[in-house]
Amino acid sequence: MFAVRYVLPAVLILAGFVLLAVGSASNRYEGFAMCVGAGLAVLLLNVFVRIGTKGDQERDREEAARAYLAEHGHWPNETPPAQPKR
């Protein structure tokens, strides 16, 4: 997973700079743009996937907190209400 998140985009961006440095005059800039664009696209896609999964985790925590509220009558991070004296 580390390789897909970080190594693959780094290799693609590095390949773009290599093409810029040693590529022929006819395809130097196109190869650079293609490789760097692909590397940045893979990196950005990974960022979006991580943001999406973070939202799922937040929803799961909220659902667990609501179940706790239904069972105990108060939120998990609050102190329980005082019992009235009889």
The whole-number average pLDDT for the span 43-53 is 91
Better-predicted residue by pLDDT, 57 or 44:
44
Handedness of CA 50, 55, 60, 61 (dihedral sign): positive
Crossing angle of helices 28-72 and 8-22, rounded to 10°: 160
Whether residue 15 contacts residue 35, with contact meaning beta carbons closer than 8 Å, is answered with yes
pLDDT(86) > 70? no
Given pLDDT bands bounded at 50, 70 and 90, which one contains residue 74?
confident
pTM higher than 0.85:
no
Better-predicted residue by pLDDT, 80 or 21:
21
Question: At 21, which amino acid appears?
Answer: A
Q: Identify which of 52, 46, 37, 54 has the alpha carbon closest to the alpha carbon of residue 6.
A: 46
